[in-house]
């Protein structure tokens, strides 16, 4: 069933504003079957894997989907909770908190509707956009929860929406936030999160800011992701009063044999441990919510690399999730984009 958009219209009806926050996605369960469905959708996106389609089809369906789902399921099982996927329930909490904040700031108005969707998996972007329009939202703002723009994340979300609207007879007024990597309130939320950790734990010798990696080729072709990550790190470190010897920017989660953005998080941690660094704090500014890549890869796997290499103390600082400062930052970005719609 395709995307239909707005059905009903009456001249006396007051248009509502829809706000859709989106994130990458998550399997519906921590099982091999669910992971196969999720990974097939995710890895079939040409924005995510820029390999000729025919060649990639054979690699994906002949090798990866026969091996990786079972392995990934075990990792997801290690972070799964009573509420299910951490990424999903954190996004639910963020959407609810943003809705409450907007209603409070706009006088408990009912003409702003906040929803959330996943680029891959459920709830889908298609279903949530249609729900917003069926509720009377003829003006829609989409805020992908990726602070730093990349074609593989934010760009892919825009592709999906453009594809849906290309077959929609009545396209709503539409706005799209492509990045907020240098938004002052977002930067301050990151700084406050790190300082909160330091209030309860002695600051480590070094602070590592780890971002999800992408192939180096994307940067060479013009993707601004690397530059935006570097700017985010610089702004965070300036507010913390740290210099380049105390604050390190790295990139994690590489996949395949191609060169990705460097320095690599895992290799850097091993090197630091071997070279005498005794303690390190790790924070992931590019992840708006804790997920497999932070809770397992960073908090567990990479900790082992550092300790085995000679490090003594390793701390993962949780993502911003639904912290009040984070909600304030996201709400501020939303208000900048919809305030004139509410006049």
For 16-180+325-342, CATH gives 3.40.50.1400
CB-count exposure of residue 211 (10 Å: 0-12, 13-18, 19+): buried
Residues 215-232 have a mean pLDDT of: 97
Average pLDDT of the chain?
Answer: 94
What number of H helices and E strands is found in the chain? 13, 8
- What residue ranges of the chain are covered by domains with CATH 3.40.50.1400? 16-180+325-342, 184-317
Order of strands across the sheet with 313-317? 247-252, 206-212, 279-283, 313-317
pLDDT at residue number 1: 38
Reply yes or no on whether the pLDDT at 146 is more than 80: yes
pLDDT at residue number 343: 75
Pair 240, 207: CB distance under 8 Å: yes
Tell me the pLDDT tens digit for each residue of 71-123. Answer: 999 999 999 999 999 999 999 999 999 999 998 887 666 789 999 999 999 99
Q: What is the token pair recorded at 340?
A: 């004139």
Q: Which of 49-53, 162-166, 265-269 has the highest mean pLDDT?
A: 265-269
Top-confidence residue, 15 or 54:
54
The DSSP code sequence of 127-147 is HHHHHHHHTTEEEEEEEES-S
Q: What is the token pair recorded at 202?
A: 């002695």
Q: Is 185 helix (H, G, I), strand (E, B) or coil?
A: helix
CB-count exposure of residue 14 (10 Å: 0-12, 13-18, 19+): exposed
CATH class of 184-317: alpha beta
pLDDT at residue number 13: 64
Reply yes or no on whether the pLDDT at 65 is more than 60: yes
Tell me the pLDDT tens digit for each residue of 235-262. Answer: 999 999 999 899 999 999 998 889 999 9
Percent of all residues in the chain with a pLDDT value above 90, rounded to a whole number: 89
Reply yes or no on whether the pLDDT at 196 is more than 80: yes
Using CA atoms, how far apart are residues 196 and 234, in angstroms rounded to an integer?
Answer: 19
């Amino acid at each position: 069933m395709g995307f239909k958009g707005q059905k009903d219209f009456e001249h006396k009806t007051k248009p509502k504003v829809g706000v859709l926050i989106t994130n990458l996605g998550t399997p519906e369960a921590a099982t091999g079957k669910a992971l196969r469905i999720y990974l097939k959708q995710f890895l079939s996106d040409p924005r995510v894997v820029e390999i000729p389609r025919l060649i990639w089809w054979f690699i994906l369906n002949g090798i990866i989907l026969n091996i990786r789902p079972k392995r990934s399921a075990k990792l997801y099982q290690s972070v799964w909770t009573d509420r299910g996927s951490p990424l999903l329930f954190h996004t639910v909490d963020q959407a609810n908190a943003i809705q409450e904040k907007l209603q409070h700031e706009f006088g408990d108005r009912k003409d702003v509707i906040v929803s959330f969707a996943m680029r891959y998996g459920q709830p889908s972007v298609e279903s949530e956009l249609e729900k917003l329009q069926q509720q009377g939202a003829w003006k829609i703002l989409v805020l992908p929860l990726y602070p730093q723009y990349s074609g593989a994340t934010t760009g892919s979300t825009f592709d999906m929406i453009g594809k849906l609207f290309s077959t929609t007879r009545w396209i709503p007024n539409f706005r799209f936030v492509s990045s907020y990597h240098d938004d002052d309130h977002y930067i301050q939320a990151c700084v406050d999160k790190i300082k909160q950790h330091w209030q309860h734990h002695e600051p480590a010798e070094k602070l590592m800011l780890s971002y999800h990696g992408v192939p180096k080729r994307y940067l060479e072709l013009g993707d601004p992701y690397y530059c935006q990550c570097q700017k985010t790190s610089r702004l965070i470190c300036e507010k913390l009063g740290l210099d380049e010897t105390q604050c390190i920017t790295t990139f994690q989660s590489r996949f395949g044999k191609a060169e990705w953005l460097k320095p690599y998080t895992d290799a850097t941690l091993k090197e630091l441990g071997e070279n005498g660094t005794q303690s390190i704090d790790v924070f992931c500014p590019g992840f708006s919510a804790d997920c497999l890549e932070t809770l397992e890869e960073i908090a567990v796997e990479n900790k082992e690399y550092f300790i085995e290499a000679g490090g003594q103390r390793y701390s993962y600082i949780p993502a911003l999730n639904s912290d009040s400062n984070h909600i304030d930052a996201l709400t501020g970005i939303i208000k900048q984009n919809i305030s004139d719609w509410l006049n």
